[in-house]
Amino acid sequence: MLDAEPDLSTRLFSHIDFADGAVAAVSGGSDSTALLLLLKDHLDRTLPSARLLAVTVDHGLRRGSADEARAVAELCAERGIAHRILDWTGEKPSTGLPAAARAARYRLLSSAARAEGVGLILTGHTSDDQAETVLMRRDRKLGARDDGRGLAGMAPATLHDWRDWIVRPLLGVRRGVLRDFLRRQEVGWAEDPTNADEAFERPRMRATLAGEAGARRMDDALALAAREAGARARLGAEAARLIERFASQPAAGLIRLDPALLGAGEDPAAIYALRILLATSGGIAFLPDQARSEALFARLKAGFLCATLSRTVVDSRRAGIFLRREMRGLPAAEAAVDATLWDGRRRITLGDGGDALLIAPLGAAAAKRLPAGRVETPPSLMRAALAAEPASQPLGGSAGAAPDRPASRGFQASPVVAPFARFLPSFDLAVARSVARLIGACPLPALPFAGHSAG
């Protein structure tokens, strides 16, 4: 047990629910090493029966990474902490390497958490990381697509794959404080040479934050992040209320907006709600850009129209404003694979029958043979939406065989909230919940903070 840091570890972790254990992501750097030791101290004092697994992901991208992973293993063995090294194997992309490495890291961390029956992953991101992130995003002059939401920085918690919570308890702690703690404990850490390589954006930003002028800039960045995080959460809550009041789902793949939404007097929140619903209907991970969404909203106010944005057909008529997936660009028929995301909109779960299936869009011809459904919704819209839904046929069946109806026997196609299916920051929980209820997606797992639930 640490002899001088109980106040720090209590402040960092007392609000987190560790009843089901935790996975700590530990690279061997100062931040994650301090996270691990402070967390171990907290659990030893407050919940000694809790499972703690340290995981080191070796991306295999530079010399020495394997040695650093083994050094973490040795530290964990000395402290009685379970530890695993997970390697990122396979071919690495020639472009977009940082993003690919990040995705691989969280995928491997999640697999380790699931193997332990744990839904909580802790990372060592600090206030230094937060300031660097916010300033890099601001300096890139975020485009209309991002509308400034990225200036909120990293969220205290992020839901990964709608299943595992990634919590960042060190966001309010400076890196220097953690390194002072490690020095007092006589514990070393690894220095990643890429952190000083100014060929990369983050090290360049880190260099600008050194010294007294840099400290003031960092404080300004953290204040900006706090303001933007609050604004983003408030906008999401307002959009959630509008969705609950004005949106409905007459059929799978078809969202109806009451035209009264256009005159509700809450245009920023209404446009934000529209962007999220467009991305959800189209199966797009990113929201449509702000300028095009504002233009669409203005056109909807001006009168009836039929337009397409983010793979979503927007059909405004007397019966309402309807959103559905356009037919262009739908996936070709392919062998069904369990737990895959189909078209960015549906999570495929195979049944226990063992029959090999092809999954393909139902198609217009098959959709015409289905019952018309609710009389208050134009049948043509119902069938157009159903035509874009996944349906099955036996693998190896007769050539050109028509697919079965949506939600066929042998598989389930559960809807997902596309822009938040992979990463859902806690800033956006309110609006994500509302969309999930609207389309029948799986409920959110409870936040891993004391006194919170998924609602």
Cβ atoms within 10 Å, residue 400: 5
- Residue 132: pLDDT above 60? yes
Q: What is the distance between the alpha carbons of residues 159 and 425, in angstroms, rounded to a whole number? A: 6
The pLDDT value recorded for residue 148 is: 82
Number of residues written out for the chain: 455
- The three-point CA angle 280-284-287 to 5° equals 80
pLDDT band at 84 (very low <50, low <70, confident <90, very high): very high
Both structure tokens of 321: 């404003």
Residue 128's pLDDT is: 94
Lowest mean pLDDT among 134-143, 220-229, 245-254, 415-424: 134-143
Q: Residue 454: which pLDDT band, with cuts at 50, 70 and 90? A: very low
Helix (H), strand (E) at residue 158: strand 157-160
pLDDT of residue 399: 42
The helix/strand/coil state of 286 is: coil
pLDDT of 143? 45
Question: Is the predicted pLDDT of residue 124 greater than 70, yes or no?
Answer: yes
CA dist 409 and 407 (Å) reads: 7
pLDDT at 351: 79
Q: Find which of 18-27, 85-94, 95-104, 201-210 is predicted with most confidence, using mean pLDDT.
A: 18-27
pLDDT digits (tens, 9 = 90+) for 62-74: 888 999 999 999 9
Regarding beta strands 120-122 and 22-25, do their DSSP bridges make them parallel or antiparallel, or are they unpaired?
parallel
Evaluate if residue 21 carries a pLDDT over 50. Answer: yes
Indicate whether 146 pLDDT > 80.
no
Residue 285 has pLDDT above 50, yes or no: yes
Query: Exposed/middle/buried for 226, CB within 10 Å: 0-12, 13-18, 19+?
Result: middle
286: left (phi over 0), alpha (psi -120 to 50) or beta: beta
The mean pLDDT value of the chain amounts to 90
The contacts found for 58-61 with CB under 8 angstroms, 24 or more apart, are 58/85, 58/86, 58/87, 58/88, 59/88, 59/101, 59/104, 59/105, 60/87, 60/88, 60/89, 60/92, 61/92, 61/97, 61/101
> 6-230: CATH homologous superfamily?
HUPs (3.40.50.620)
| Residue 209 pLDDT | 83
Identity at 234, one-letter amino acid code? R
Q: Render pLDDT for 293-317 as a digit per residue (tens, 0 to 9).
A: 999 999 999 999 999 999 999 999 9
How would you list the strands of the sheet with 411-415, edge to edge? 341-342, 346-350, 411-415
Give the DSSP letter of residue 206. Answer: H
The domain segmentation of the chain, as residue ranges, is 6-230, 334-415
Q: What's the pLDDT score for residue 374? A: 61
What's the mean pLDDT in 419-441?
97
Tokens of 338: 């369990």
pTM to 2 decimal places: 0.91
